[in-house]
Amino acid sequence: MTESLIWWSIAIYLLIAIGIAIMSRQGPSESMSGYFLGNRQMNGFVSALSYSATTYSAFMMVGLAGLTYAGGVGALGFEIIYFAGVSLVAIFGPKFWAVGKKFGFVTPSEMLGHRYNSKHVAMAVSIASCIFLIPYSAVQLAGVGYLLQGITDGAITFTTGVVLATVIAIFFSYIAGIRSVMWTDSLQAIMMIVASTLVAFLVIQGLGGFGALFNTLATEHPQSLTVPGPGLFSFVTFLGLTIPWFFFSLSNPQVSQRLFMPSSLRSMRHMLIGFLVFGFIYTMVSVLWGFSALAAFPSLERADLATPTLLASEFVPPVLGVIVMIGIMAAAVSTIDSIMLTLASMVSRDVYANVKPNVSEKRQLLVGKFVVPVIALMALAFAELQLDLIAVLSVAASSGLVAMVPALIGAFYWKRGTSAGALASVVGTSAFVLLMYATGNSLLGLPAGVWGIVVASVLFVGVSLATKPHQASTDAFFTAISEELGKKRRPIADQANKRAAASL
C-alpha cells in the first residue's frame, strides 16, 4: 500500500461523495425541520442506509473484529442482542413519528420537554447528550488517526488523519444539512458492505473455506467458539455490555431523531427492515474477520491489530485493502457528522431557544449552523489531547445515555410520569454512571451498564409517584398519538372512486 495510492483513493472518494452531497440539495433550507430532518420527507431506502452508516461507526470493522479476536463468539452474541434491541423501533417508531408530525418536534429532547411540560427536562437531556457524545465522537476521530497512521507506517500522521476526518464531517454537514449527510452515508454504507463482504470471502477462501476456518478454530482455539470463551465474556461482563446497547435505538439521540424523518410509516418500515438486513450481514462479516485473523495470525500483540493485519495480508489485494481503509474512515465520518447535526439541533432548539424565548426559527437555524463546527472542533481538540477523562466519558457513553430510557418509555406508556421524575432520572443517572466509571465501574460486583437502567427506572418511577403530572400536556400527547396512528389507508378502489367523483 503506497502513500500515493492512499491519497489518490481518498481524493476519488471525496470527489464522488461531494458530488452526491451537492446533488442532494433541494434549495436552501430555511427551517429547522428542513435542515435537520429533511422536511420529514426521507424515503425508506436512503433512511435505511443512513441509519446503518450512523449506527455502525468505525467500531464495527476494527473494534468488533478485535473483540472477536480477543473474546471469541461472545462478540457475536453482544452484537445480536444490540441488533434485536433495534426492534424497539417497531413499537416506538410510529409513536415518535406521530407526535413529531403533530407537534413539529425537531429533537427527541424537545419531545420529552413537551410531554412533561418542562423546558428543564429538554435542557437536561440535551446537555447530558453533549457530555457523553462529544467525547464519543473524539474517540471515533482518534480511531481514524490511528488507522491511517498504522496502515501507512506513519506516512499519514495521526493529526493529519484526525483533521481530515473532522473537515470532511463539517463539510458534509454544511452542504445540505441532514440531506447531504444521509446521501453521503448511503454511499459509505454501500461501499463498505460490498468491500467488507468481498474481503471476508477472499480471506476465508485463502484459509481453505468456511469449514477449514472453523476446523482450525475448533482444534487450535476451541474456547473462541464458546462463552465465556477465553475469559473476556463472563456473564456479568456480557450483561454490562449488552443492556445499554439493547436500548441504543432509543437512548442515542442521533438515531432516535431519525424516527421523525421518514415520509410515512411505510418508509419507516423500509428503514427498519433495510437496517436489520444490512446490520446482520455487517455483523457476520465483522465477526468472520475476527475469526479469520485469529486462525491466520494467532499471536498478534493487541486484538485491535486484527483488522489492519488482515487488510495488509496476502489474502487481500492492495486496492481492496485501500477501499476498506477509506470505508472505515468514512464510517467514522458518517457517525460523527450525524452526531454533530443532532447535538447542534439540540443545543439550538432545547438550550438556546429555552434560555431566550420567542426566538425565530431562522435565528435557531443560524445558531444550529454555528454550533456544528464548534462541536466538531471540540471533538478534534479532545482527540488530539487524548485525555484520560475523554476516554472515560466515551466508554461511559452507552451506559450514561440509558438515563433517558425510562423517561422515554414513560412518555408513551405511563401517564403518571412527571417532569420531576424525568429530570431526576436523567440528571441522577448521568451523575451516577460518571461516578461509577471514575471509581472502578463496579458496585456489588456489577458494572454501570447493569446499574444504569435500574437507577434510572427507580428514580423516574419513585420521584414521579411523589409528584403530580401535568394533565393537559399528557392528554394532548396521548390524544395526538391515537389520532395520528388511527388513520387507515383507504382501499385502492375507494381512492379511485374518490378521484373520479372529484373530477366530475
Partner 1 sequence: RIWLVWAVVLLSYLVPYTLLSGVALWYGSFLFWAVAGLVVIALNVFITKDFEEHSN
Shortest distance in whole angstroms from residue 449 CB to partner 1: 14
Write out the three cell numbers for 293. Answer: 485473523
CA 360 remoteness from chain centre: 30
User: Cα–Cα distance between 252 and 402 in angstroms, integer?
Assistant: 8
481 touching partner 1, by CB under 8 A: no
Site map 433..472 versus partner 1, x via CB under 8 A: ----------------------------------------
Site for partner 1 in 321-350 (CB under 8 A): none
Q: How far is CA 26 from CA 86, 177, 267, in A?
A: 31, 11, 20
122 touching partner 1, by CB under 8 A: no
87 touching partner 1, by CB under 8 A: yes
261 touching partner 1, by CB under 8 A: no
- DSSP string over 218-257: HHH-GGGGSSSTTTT--HHHHHHHHHHHHTHHHH-HHHHG
Q: Which stretch binds partner 1 (CB under 8 A): 4-12, 71-79, 326-334, 343-351?
A: 71-79
Write out the three cell numbers for 284. Answer: 457476520
499 touching partner 1, by CB under 8 A: no
- When computed from its CA atoms, the radius of gyration of the chain, rounded to whole angstroms, is 23
Shortest distance in whole angstroms from residue 71 CB to partner 1: 12
Reduced to 3 states, what is the DSSP secondary structure of residue 443?
strand
283 touching partner 1, by CB under 8 A: yes
Question: Which lies closer to partner 1 via its Cβ, residue 415 or residue 490?
Answer: 490
Residue 218's CB is within 10 A of a number of other CB atoms, namely 11
Closest C-alpha among 117, 138, 112 to residue 127:
112
Question: Which lies closer to partner 1 via its Cβ, residue 43 or residue 160?
Answer: 43
Question: Which lies closer to partner 1 via its Cβ, residue 266 or residue 468?
Answer: 266
Shortest distance in whole angstroms from residue 193 CB to partner 1: 15
- In the beta sheet, which residues pair with residue 446? 443
Shortest distance in whole angstroms from residue 300 CB to partner 1: 21
Are 439 and 143 in contact, with CB atoms under 8 Å apart?
A: no
Q: Side chain identity at 290, as an amino acid letter? A: G
Q: Which residue has the cell 452507552?
A: 398
Q: Residues interacting with partner 1, by CB under 8 A?
A: 73-74, 76-77, 80-81, 83-85, 87, 90-91, 94, 210, 214, 217-218, 222-223, 225-228, 235, 238-239, 242, 246, 263-266, 268-269, 272-273, 276-277, 280, 283-284, 485, 487-490
